């Protein structure tokens, strides 16, 4: 098939979980299909990208740039979809650009058999194109369920504030938008069965396929660490990550230090805010690294990886990466939701400050128990969450899409040319 792949990010370098997912799905598609890639950039288009050599043509990079005319760009799409402007959720308007729509229209659109879009924000572009190309199949990959993600960001303490009221109005728009738009998509991909179930009220279950977030398991686990270092790994500009780290530092870490005085905590991830960076200057036992080329040295020094998230959506690659590296994990239920892991065997779950602190202290003191979690966690990831699972699943999904007359698999086309 000839696939147009539209993404809100360029996954080079694949420095966070979202980009890693896009990269692996792209790689899977290029193995079996002719792929044209279109991605939004923010002044960070890669000078070189090995995967681009496998595309059907040059990768198309669209810089987000000035968004002052975004309303006019999106109104074109809105007209195509017959959706009123007031129904457009803010989450959609924030990540689109006036430049994307005309660049898509410059492509030889009638040659494509399928349009694959990443995240809910890109879905209107696929459907707007489908109004002109009825034969095209549409595939939407969702790293999370946007309505559920945004619902968690609304805190009761903000409900009566202007921002809270605006947030609730936008959540209502987002729910209405999902109900209107998603049934028109041919195939919807989620990263967990839990997210798939959340969509069943809005789409037919047969539309949805689960392709889990995964990690690379071919690298050997790290040597055991007997120190008293805790680590958090994640992009710090992602609001749930900052919220979780601040919760941990303010409400959990002091209780751990009262029982393990020499414990240290390292925060690893790009774009930490001033608030996060100030933790390292205020407290000698907290270190903030910022962006690193490789997280494994930080995981190597840590005895336990913590995932103290209170909000967010999808599934967390940070848990899978830590387990694949052979590190015990303590997480909140929200942090680990959607992952088929067993509490007490593969990781420890704790949702209150006292329970979270107690779990960390127990693992720091009980080496045998920590080793058991390290072994079981890695085994679970190897069996269920290696990227080959989702890559093969995506190939299978595309094999089951209705074939356009005249289209054929990439391998068949190459054989015919030979």
pLDDT of residue 85: 39
What span, in angstroms and rounded, lies between the C-alpha atoms of 312 and 241? 8
Is residue 397 domain-shared with residue 341, that is, in the same domain?
no
417 inside domain: no
Is residue 192 domain-shared with residue 114, that is, in the same domain?
yes
DSSP state of 386: B
Burial zone of 370 (CB within 10 Å; 0-12 exposed, 13-18 middle, 19+ buried): buried
409 inside domain: no
CATH number for the domain harbouring residue 187:
3.40.50.2000
414 inside domain: no
pTM here is: 0.88
pLDDT of residue 100: 87
Is residue 338 domain-shared with residue 252, that is, in the same domain?
yes
413 inside domain: no
pLDDT of residue 177: 87
pLDDT of residue 312: 87
408 inside domain: no
pLDDT of residue 47: 85
Q: Give the strands of the sheet with 348-349, arranged side by side.
A: 286-290, 264-268, 229-233, 304-307, 328-331, 348-349
Is residue 141 domain-shared with residue 122, that is, in the same domain?
yes
Who contacts 372 (Cβ-Cβ below 8 Å, separation ≥6)? none
Number of domains in the chain: 2
Strands 229-233, 264-268: parallel, antiparallel or unpaired by DSSP?
parallel
Q: What are phi and psi of 388, to 5 degrees?
A: -60, -30
CB 92 within 8 A of CB 176: no
State the DSSP H helix or E strand holding residue 287, giving kind and residue range, or none if neither.
Answer: strand 286-290
Is residue 197 domain-shared with residue 317, that is, in the same domain?
no
Is residue 62 domain-shared with residue 147, that is, in the same domain?
yes
Is residue 275 domain-shared with residue 207, that is, in the same domain?
no
Is residue 102 domain-shared with residue 141, that is, in the same domain?
yes
**Residue 139 half-sphere exposure toward CB, CA atoms < 13 A:** 29
86 inside domain: yes
Structural domain containing residue 322: 229-384
pLDDT of residue 86: 44
pLDDT of residue 73: 54
Is residue 38 domain-shared with residue 178, that is, in the same domain?
yes
Q: How far apart are the first and last CA of the chain?
A: 18
412 inside domain: no
299 inside domain: yes
Is residue 265 domain-shared with residue 192, that is, in the same domain?
no
Is residue 235 domain-shared with residue 368, that is, in the same domain?
yes
**Residue 111 half-sphere exposure toward CB, CA atoms < 13 A:** 12
Mean pLDDT by 10-residue block, N- to C-terminus, for the chain (418 residues)? 95 90 96 96 88 94 67 52 52 70 91 94 86 91 89 79 83 88 93 94 94 92 94 94 97 98 97 96 95 94 97 89 97 96 98 98 97 97 96 96 62 45
pLDDT of residue 408: 58
State the DSSP H helix or E strand holding residue 388, giving kind and residue range, or none if neither.
Answer: helix 387-399
Is residue 33 domain-shared with residue 98, that is, in the same domain?
yes
């Amino acid at each position: 098939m000839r696939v147009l792949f539209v993404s809100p990010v360029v996954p080079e370098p694949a420095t966070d979980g979202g980009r890693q997912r896009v990269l692996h799905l792209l790689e899977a598609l290029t193995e079996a299909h002719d792929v044209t890639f279109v991605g939004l950039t923010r002044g960070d288009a890669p000078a070189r990208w090995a995967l681009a050599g496998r595309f059907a043509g040059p990768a198309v990079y669209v810089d987000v740039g000035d968004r002052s005319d975004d309303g006019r760009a999106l109104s074109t799409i809105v007209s195509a979809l017959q959706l009123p402007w007031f129904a457009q959720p803010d989450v959609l308007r924030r990540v689109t650009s006036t430049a994307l729509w005309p660049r898509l229209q410059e492509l030889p659109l009638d040659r494509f058999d399928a349009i694959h879009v990443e995240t809910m924000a890109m879905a209107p572009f696929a459907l707007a194109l489908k109004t002109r190309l009825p034969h095209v199949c549409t595939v939407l990959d969702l790293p999370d369920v946007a309505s559920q993600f945004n619902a968690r960001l609304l805190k009761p303490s903000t409900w009566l504030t202007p921002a809270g009221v605006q947030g609730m109005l936008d959540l209502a728009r987002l729910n209405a938008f999902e109900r209107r738009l998603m049934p028109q998509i041919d195939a919807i991909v989620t990263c967990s069965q839990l997210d798939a179930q959340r969509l069943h009220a809005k789409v037919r279950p047969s539309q949805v396929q689960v392709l889990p977030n995964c990690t690379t398991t071919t690298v050997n686990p790290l040597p055991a660490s007997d120190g008293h270092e805790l680590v958090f790994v994640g992009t710090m500009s992602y609001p749930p990550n900052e919220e979780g780290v601040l919760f941990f530092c303010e409400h959990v870490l002091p209780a751990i230090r009262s029982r393990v005085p020499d414990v240290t905590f390292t925060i690893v991830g790009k774009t930490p805010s001033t608030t996060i960076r100030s933790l390292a200057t205020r407290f000698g036992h907290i270190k903030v690294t910022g962006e690193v080329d490789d997280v494994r040295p930080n995981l190597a020094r840590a005895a336990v990886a913590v995932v103290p998230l209170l909000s967010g959506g999808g599934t967390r690659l940070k848990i899978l990466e830590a387990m694949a590296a052979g590190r015990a994990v303590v997480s909140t239920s929200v942090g680990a939701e959607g992952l088929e892991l067993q509490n007490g065997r593969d990781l420890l779950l704790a949702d209150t400050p006292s329970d979270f602190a107690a779990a960390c202290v127990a693992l720091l003191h009980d080496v045998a128990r920590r080793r058991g979690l390290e072994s079981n966690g890695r085994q679970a990831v190897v069996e269920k969450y290696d990227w080959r699972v989702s890559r093969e699943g995506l190939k299978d999904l595309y094999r089951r899409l209705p074939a356009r007359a005249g289209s054929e698999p990439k391998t068949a086309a190459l054989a015919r040319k030979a």
